[in-house]
Structure 1
């Protein structure tokens, strides 16, 4: 299966949104046709429970934590995945950031959106 485009979903504290946006722009994420730096974001609430050995940015081991976050959605070229993931991790404050990678399909065939 040849997938040329992906969508990333990234969950991050609002305080780090500007740094994330700059990092994504620096690696060319968000290019759609004749536009670049395209992304969408929405306010969400994240929950988690740090386990033994973790070093949470927010929260205490073995206690459920809840905090406002921003969900960022951005398209990338599949060949830029590793570079983009590194750029995200370089600016992300979480020990284990949530980054979902989703292949994109179109009516023109897989990966041609």
Structure 2
């Protein structure tokens, strides 16, 4: 049985399709006989680039708000490293915001 992880990613809305394709191709979102399964919710991301940052959007020391999507999916543990690598390669931000954790009680 394979351990399942939940994954949440925050991405500029302009790059959501690119991220969904990259992580799906790497193995995210596989549920039974389906691939590339996800749930996407629009929102607003806020951040302030600090000295030393190389922001994709915004300027050092100035608060920024951008239309972002919250992408939710599942990832089988053996695919997790490849999915994270694909996410980092496709994401426009210097430091992509994402998180993962094991889904308790779920194995398939």
What TM-score, normalized by structure 2, do the two folds share?
0.92
Determine the structure 1 residue equivalent to 2:51: 52
Structure 2 equivalent of residue 61 of structure 1: 60
- In the alignment, the residues of structure 1 paired with residue 5 and residue 86 of structure 2 have an alpha-carbon distance, to the nearest angstrom, of 16
Structure 2 Cα separation of the partners of residues 85 and 112 of structure 1 = 20
Question: Does structure 1 residue 112 correspond to structure 2 residue 107?
Answer: yes
2:41 is equivalent to residue 42 of structure 1:
yes
User: Please, which runs of 5 or more residues in structure 1 have no aligned partner?
Assistant: none
Matched-pair contact (CA < 8 Å) for 2:7–2:74: yes
User: Number of residue pairs matched?
Assistant: 107
- Report the Cα distance in structure 2 between the residues aligned to 1:80 and 1:25, rounded to whole angstroms: 10
Gap runs ≥5 in structure 2:
none
Where is the strand percentage greater, Structure 1 or Structure 2?
2
- State the alpha-carbon separation in 1 of the partners of residues 25 and 62 from structure 2: 37
1: distance between equivalents of 2:80 and 2:64? Answer: 30
Over the residues paired in the alignment, what is the CA RMSD in angstroms? 1.4
Partner residue in 1 for 2:70: 71
Query: Aligned equivalents of 2:73 and 2:19: distance in 1?
Result: 11
TM-score by length of 1: 0.88
